[in-house]
Amino acid sequence: MRYRGSPNVQGCNPSGFYRTGDGASHHIFASADPAIVSGTKFDMAGAIDHPGWMVTVNMG
C-alpha cells in the first residue's frame, strides 16, 4: 500500500496515531505521544531486497 495510492495506506491510520513513510513500502505508525521528527531511507543492498527506513521520534 502506498500513501495516496489505491488503496491508500492512510486509510489504515487509526485515530490518535500519526503515519510517515518513504512514499513506497515503508510505513511507521506512532501514537500522539511521540512526535515523528524525521525519516531517512538507506541502502540495504546485499542484506534484503529493499532499502531500510530509519525514523527518529521525539518522546516529548
Residue 34 maps to a domain: yes
The DSSP code sequence of 16-44 is TEEEEE-SSS-EEEEESSSEEEEEEEE--
Kindly report the pTM of this predicted structure: 0.45
User: Residue for cell digits 525519516?
Assistant: 39
Confidence of residue 60 (pLDDT cuts 50, 70, 90): low
pLDDT tens string 5-31: 888 877 777 787 777 777 667 777 777
pLDDT recorded at residue 2: 74
Nearest residue to 1 (alpha-carbon basis) of 32, 38, 19: 19
Residue 1 maps to a domain: no
Q: What is the domain range of residue 38? A: 9-58
Distance separating alpha carbons of residues 35 and 51, to the nearest angstrom? 23
Q: How many domains does the chain have?
A: 1
Q: What's the mean pLDDT when you consider all of the chain?
A: 76
Residue 35 maps to a domain: yes
pLDDT recorded at residue 10: 77
26 in Cβ contact with 53 (< 8 Å): yes
